Amino acid sequence: MCRVYLTITSTAPAATDLGYLLHKHPDRAQQFDISAGLAHVFYPEATYERCTVALVLEVDPIALVRGRRYGGDAFALSQYVNDRPYAASSMLAVALGKVFRTAMAGKCDARPDLVDQPLPLEIHLPALPSVGGPEMVLELFEPLGWSVQATPIPLDETVPHWGDSRYVNARLRGTVVLAQALSHLYVLLPVLDNAKHYWVSSDEVDKLVRAGSRWLADHPERDLIMRRYLAHQRDLVASAVSRLAEVDDLAPEALDNAVEDNEEKACDVLPLVARRKQAVLEALQAEGAARVVDLGCGEGALLRELIQDARFSEVLGVDVSPRALEVAERRLNMGRMPDSQRARLRLIQSSLTYRDERFAGYDAIVLMEVIEHLDTERLPALENNVFAHAGPRVVIVTTPNAEHNVRYERLAAGMMRHRDHRFEWTRAEFTAWATSVCERTGYVVRFAPIGIDDPDVGPPTQMAVFGRLDDKQRKAS
């Protein structure tokens, strides 16, 4: 038998209340059958000041390999002779999910007052696999409020020049609600390992959304977490993005991208979300814009590209949602950003439809997948704010092409790409709107397709690049 374990320690007043939350009495040792072997739960210490629970998993590697569920070549020696059963991988996550299922769900009938109470916790994982090294442990757990200590484990202490292994001795410390702490471990253990010991199917999307519903959408490494947890299966990742968008109103464009990318992946090497950013960046570069406002910046997808290009000397991210800006700050890792980039970037909260002096006078304003989230009666206010008052030399607008929706098999007839969209325009409707804006505000406009330009229904995304006329040009026109 091989053993892998973790410990969770509470130093809260009346520390033994941990037993109520876990539904495991400190005076009893218990064992549970799981698919990978036997899980044991016991308390090495249980005092009023300090209480530690240990979960020890006894893995039977021979039974694991021979079991049909796990597949592989049962006669291959490598299946038997390896170090994986000793590490805190997906097998330990499965044990956590079964042994502490009620605690992870945040249920405690005996002491309901404890369920949502943050506790001072320390979690110890002596052998934690980490594809990405100790830094990856920090990047995954620190945004969730944990203080992380991750010490690399040498390949062989007697042969120092071999260097470190892919395993770390990890300690997490923080004041966290226990149910959330368990959900962090349940999701992130297999993510760190970048592997699962069982077949990943659509059921895993349900598990991921259920366990990560309160924190995953805001995590700066959300995309990496989803890819690794779902074994890099794009259909499952797209489904998870959609499910998270349903429970979190932060980034509706995430669902747009998931629908579009999933439909186009078979015929378009570069996903639509990437093509959209590329088209905007190329338009900005062609217009010679150096000072740029990303109006409705959301989680900062375009901001990341802008600050990586030194040609953009000043970048302003604007969004009406403080929460969106907080997530953008985390996702952009502004605290660790190089000084040369950090000096060029600023985030502010403001509305698209109210006059704001702070984004007047820039070279360009970008509205990427923004206008369709506004009620049509608010568009004149946006036009006045952006074109008439701020008056940049260039305005770039992208929006879905409603005609292309018939190419999305998952989209029912008459449905829009996201539940937050107030409208989706055809090419003729977009052209009519842009032309009327030019007539009122002194701009000229050109249009460009983004994505595959279908001969019958046009591209999935349409882009308008507005250029401001100077006084001489206005008089001539």
CA dihedral of residues 187, 190, 191, 194 (deg, nearest 10): -160
Read off the pTM: 0.54
pLDDT per 10-residue tile (average), the chain, 477 residues: 78 93 92 84 94 88 53 42 58 88 89 91 92 90 93 85 86 95 94 77 84 87 90 81 57 45 46 88 96 93 92 95 85 85 94 90 96 93 94 96 86 80 95 96 96 93 93 54
What are residue 120's DSSP bridge partners? 175
Q: What pLDDT score was predicted for residue 252?
A: 41
CA dihedral of residues 205, 208, 213, 216 (deg, nearest 10): -110
Residues 6 or more apart in contact with residue 223 via CB below 8 angstroms: none
Which amino acid, residue 170?
A
Beta strands in 190-343 (DSSP E): 291-295, 314-319
State the Cα–Cα distance between residues 262 and 99, nearest whole angstrom: 36
Sign of the C-alpha dihedral, residues 325, 327, 329, 332? negative
State the DSSP code for 97: H
State the Cα–Cα distance between residues 241 and 236, nearest whole angstrom: 9
Q: What pLDDT score was predicted for residue 426?
A: 97
